[in-house]
């Protein structure tokens, strides 16, 4: 077993983002809709430790969500 197998990394899947005034956040309740800065067919970004490592598309099957990786971003340098 490799020593790398036990190293923890922070993985974030980003659908989109937005900027909201705090007053809007404070007014939110269950079911609130937050508009994002992306379109339905825009790629979803995969970040590992703060760096983009892949792009893909969200897939939904029943009550399960997953990410289909379409492109692995090569590191420059």
Domain ranges for the chain: 3-72
pLDDT digits (tens, 9 = 90+) for 2-45: 888 989 999 999 999 999 999 999 999 999 999 999 988 899 99
Asked whether the beta carbons of 48 and 10 are under 8 A apart, the reply is yes
Token pair of 12, please? 């974030």
Q: Which CATH number fits domain 3-72: 2.30.330.10, 2.120.10.10, 2.60.40.1220, 3.40.50.1970?
A: 2.30.330.10
Dihedral in degrees, nearest 10, Cα atoms 68, 39, 62, 46: 30
pLDDT bin (cut points 50, 70, 90) of residue 76 is: confident
pLDDT at 72: 96
pTM for this entry = 0.73
């Amino acid at each position: 077993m490799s020593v790398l197998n036990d190293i923890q990394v922070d993985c974030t899947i980003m659908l989109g983002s937005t900027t909201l005034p705090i007053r809007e956040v404070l007014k939110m309740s269950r079911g609130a809709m937050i508009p994002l800065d992306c379109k339905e067919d825009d790629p979803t970004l995969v970040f590992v430790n703060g760096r983009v490592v892949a792009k893909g598309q969200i897939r939904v099957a029943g009550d399960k969500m997953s990410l289909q990786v379409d492109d692995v971003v090569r590191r420059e340098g």
